[in-house]
Structure 1
């Protein structure tokens, strides 16, 4: 039986989050980006100092998904001034939903998204928003299926390349 548990992360989960981050980012984007850009991004974004800063930020939270006590993905949310773009201080940003490739299609991402929606509703957020690369078809389909709509774009720098992220949002407290 495939059972998934979601637990709030703490600083003791730092290395787990780092491993999932690097593996998932590489699995998802290595085929369509240069090895140097992937390596630089992983080194800059998922080093222990950067992740410690994110984990200890009181306006961010991480939740790890486990299957049979094995970490298989995580959710990172930001609110208030931790949002990567302050569009609305009453919004909640999904900064990352990362699921190991071997667990795609097993509803892990859905459970992590549902967790974010629950939190947004509890905090009476106006909406949830996120940025997703315009060429990440799997993620785009997932968010559209869950009711997210595109409202803007922004530039995401990956090494020496500018990429376009679609900004998407979901109203959660109508």
Structure 2
């Protein structure tokens, strides 16, 4: 069964915050100090921060629904909204977050396909993302789409500096 994807609006801000905290916590809580995790969640997913991100014309959020239930979301960045300046005409996939109960339903695949489709339609040179070096499943998943490691950057959770691998797929 395929999910339904739609662009988020400011009316979705509270839902976006809730699903961001839920999915990040479900995925990373066991691997992080609780105080560091709480600090990260408060800063990254505060209503003011998310509103600022949503109002940036070079960032887009998309919700994915399965059987009319919010299952996850995708965040894309272009231009100066990208977290790295490695791809001027690139599209960054900053987040693919899927709720625990909706994992293994093909929604991550559907969202990455959607991002690839948009990148091609917008004639982007490349599509790229950062993924935690210890997230073996995600690394394997992105490699199946042709993403390859091109670098790394720091990702800080509270006071804990972690390493995200930068993976890219050329499009043109």
**What's the TM-score bracket when you normalise by the shorter of the two chains?**
over 0.9
TM-score for both structures, normalised by structure 2: 0.97
Moved over 6 A (4+): none
SS at match of 1:125: coil
Asked if the contact 1:3/1:68 (under 8 Å) is kept, the reply is: no
Asked if the contact 2:89/2:125 (under 8 Å) is kept, the reply is: yes
Q: Which residue of 1 aligns with 2:16?
A: 17
Hey, what's the Cα distance between the residues in 1 that align with 2:142 and 2:79? 22
- How far did 1:3 drift? 4.1
- Asked if 1:78 corresponds to 2:44, the answer is no
Hey, what's the Cα distance between the residues in 1 that align with 2:154 and 2:56? 24
TM-score for both structures, normalised by structure 1: 0.96
Q: Which residue of 1 aligns with 2:5?
A: 6
Hey, what's the Cα distance between the residues in 1 that align with 2:10 and 2:52? 10
In the TM superposition, 1:142-157 aligns within 5 A as 142-157=141-156
Hey, what's the Cα distance between the residues in 2 that align with 1:159 and 1:166? 19
Asked if the contact 2:7/2:62 (under 8 Å) is kept, the reply is: yes
- Asked if 1:126 corresponds to 2:141, the answer is no
Q: How many residues align?
A: 172
SS at match of 1:73: strand
Q: Which residue of 2 aligns with 1:114?
A: 113
SS at match of 1:143: helix
SS at match of 1:110: helix
- How far did 1:11 drift? 0.7
Hey, what's the Cα distance between the residues in 1 that align with 2:132 and 2:100? 17
Hey, what's the Cα distance between the residues in 1 that align with 2:102 and 2:128? 24
Hey, what's the Cα distance between the residues in 2 that align with 1:78 and 1:112? 14
- How far did 1:172 drift? 2.2
Hey, what's the Cα distance between the residues in 2 that align with 1:86 and 1:23? 29
- How far did 1:101 drift? 1.1
Alpha carbon RMSD of aligned pairs, Å? 0.9
Q: Which residue of 1 aligns with 2:66?
A: 67
Gaps of 5+ in 1: none
Cα distance, 1:3–1:125 mapped onto 2, change above 3 Å = closer
